[in-house]
Amino acid sequence: MEKLHINLDEKSYDIFIERGIFEEVGKYISKFYKKKKIVVVTDTNVDSLYGDMLLKNLENSGYVPSKVVFDAGEENKNFDTLTKVYEKIIDSGIKRGDLLIAFGGGVVGDLAGFAASTIYRGMDFIQIPTTLLAQVDSSVGGKVAVDTTRGKNLVGSFYQPKMVIIDPELLKTLDEREVRSGMAEVIKYGAIYDNEFFNYLLEKEDLKSSMEDIEKIIKRCCEIKAKIVEVDELDLGLRMILNFGHTLGHAIEKYYDYTKYTHGEAISIGMYEITILGEKLGITKTGESKKIKEILKKYELPIEDKVNLGDLIEIMKSDKKNISGILNFIFLSEIGKVEVKKVAEEEIGNKLLK
Ligand code: GLY
C-alpha cells in the first residue's frame, strides 16, 4: 500500500493508493470519521458499476450510507445539477457534521466537492476517484467547481478533502481512450518536474506495461502534485506549472466545442505544440519536442491538429478566466524543468506567432 501525506497545516490529509482498497474503504474512513451517516455523491455511470458495492462496503463497516446520483457527463456539471444534489442531500437527513464521499471521475469530484464546500457552509468530504485523470490530478489539491454558461469551472473554491482513496482496480472498467487520456496528465508530471519519471514512462513498452505498474505511477504523480500544492495551494504561483499544455489544450477543446477530443487528448496536443513553439522562441532546449512526440505517440495520443494558432489565440483571449488580461504560458526549458511566461493579451499574437 502506498500512502502519501499532503501537508497543509490543519487542512492536511492522507492519500492511500492500493489495488483492492475500495473493498476496505470503511476501514480507512473509520480512522477519522466516528459518526454513522455518509452520503455518497456519484454519477449514473459509476453508480451502475460500483454504487451498490460501495454502499455495502460502508454498511459492513457499520455506517449508514445514502446515495445521490446525477446524470453522467460534463454537460451536467452545472447549477441545475448542483441544486438537485443539494436538495437530495438535505432530504436524506444528512447534517453538517456528517460525511460526503465524492465517488467518480473529474466531473463528480468537482461538483460533489463544490457541494461539500458550500452546503451547510461546508461539510467534510473524501474523494474516491475512479478515472486515471481524477486519480492523478483532480482528486488531489482541493480544486472544486461547476461550469457556467459563460465557461468551465468559473464558479468554485479551494476545499481540501479529508482523505483520498485511490484504487487502480477501478480503472479496469474504464474505456481505453479514457485511460490513454489520463496518461497525458501522467506524462505532464514527468515533463514539468521529473526527468527520471519521464524517461521511465518513455522506456515502457506500451500502455499495457505501464498499467502493470500503475500503482507506482499514480503514486509518483500524486507525490509531485502534493509537493506543488503544499507550496501554492491557492494557485497564485508554482501551481500554474500544472497547466503545461493546458492553455493551448483548453483552446483546442473549445474550438471543437468539446466534441472532437477528450481533455487529455487536447492537453497532449497542447504539450507538443507549446514545446515546438518553445524551441522556436529559444526558450526550450532543442530536441525536447522530439522526446515529447515520442512519448505521446507511445501512448497513442494525438500531437497535432489542423486548427491554426491564430484561431486558438482568439479563443485564449476570450477566456473568461483571463480576467487580468495576462495569460500564463508554461514552457519547458528542458524535460523536467519549466519556465512560465506571462504574456499580455494584446501581445499574444506578436509573442507567439513570430
Ligand atoms: N489541475 C490543476 C490543478 O489542480 O491545479
Asked if 204 and 330 sit in the same domain, the reply is yes
Pocket test for ligand 1, best of 135, 243, 340 (most atoms within 8 A of CB): 243
Same domain, 168 and 183: no
Tell me the residue range of the domain where 103 lies.
2-173
- CA–CA dist 332, 345 (Å, integer): 21
Q: Is residue 123 domain-shared with residue 261, that is, in the same domain?
A: no
Same domain, 316 and 222: yes
Domain boundary among 173, 198, 232: 173
Q: Please count the structural domains in the chain.
A: 2
Residues 21 and 169 in one domain: yes
Same structural domain for residues 185 and 138? no
Average pLDDT of the chain, as a whole number? 95
Kindly state whether residues 183 and 76 are assigned to the same domain. no
Ligand 1: atom nearest CA of 228 is 5
Q: Are 128 and 165 in contact (CB under 8 A)?
A: yes
**CATH at residue 45:** 3.40.50.1970
CATH of the domain at 199: 1.20.1090.10
219 contacts 131 by C-beta, under 8 angstroms: no
Of 87-91, 167-171, 325-329, which gets the smallest average pLDDT? 325-329
Q: Which of 140, 143, 231, 330 to mutate to test the pocket of ligand 1 (most atoms within 8 A of CB)?
A: 143
CA distance 189 to 186: 6
> Is the per-residue pLDDT at 186 higher than 80?
yes
Residues 71 and 37 in one domain: yes
Order of strands across the sheet with 64-70? 2-6, 13-17, 163-166, 124-129, 99-104, 37-43, 64-70
Same domain, 75 and 162: yes
Q: Where among 150, 173, 196 does a domain terminate?
A: 173
24 and 125 housed in the same domain: yes
Would you state the pLDDT for residue 308? 87
Same domain, 197 and 218: yes
pLDDT in tens, 24-68: 999 999 999 999 999 999 999 999 999 999 999 999 999 999 999
Cα–ligand 1 centroid distance for 235 (angstroms): 8
Cα distances (Å, whole numbers) of residue 320 to 143, 152, 154, 316, 323: 18, 9, 8, 9, 6
- Same domain membership, residue 203 and residue 163: no
Q: How far apart are CA 112 and CA 147, in angstroms?
A: 13
Q: Is 137 in the pocket of ligand 1 (CB under 6 A)?
A: yes
Q: Quick one: what percent of the chain has pLDDT higher than 90?
A: 89
User: Strands, DSSP E only, in 117-248?
Assistant: 124-129, 143-148, 151-158, 163-166
Give pLDDT, residue 133.
Answer: 98
Which residue, 173, 196, 225, sits at the end of a domain? 173
The residue to mutate among 6, 192, 221, 235, having the most atoms of ligand 1 within 8 angstroms of its beta carbon, is: 235
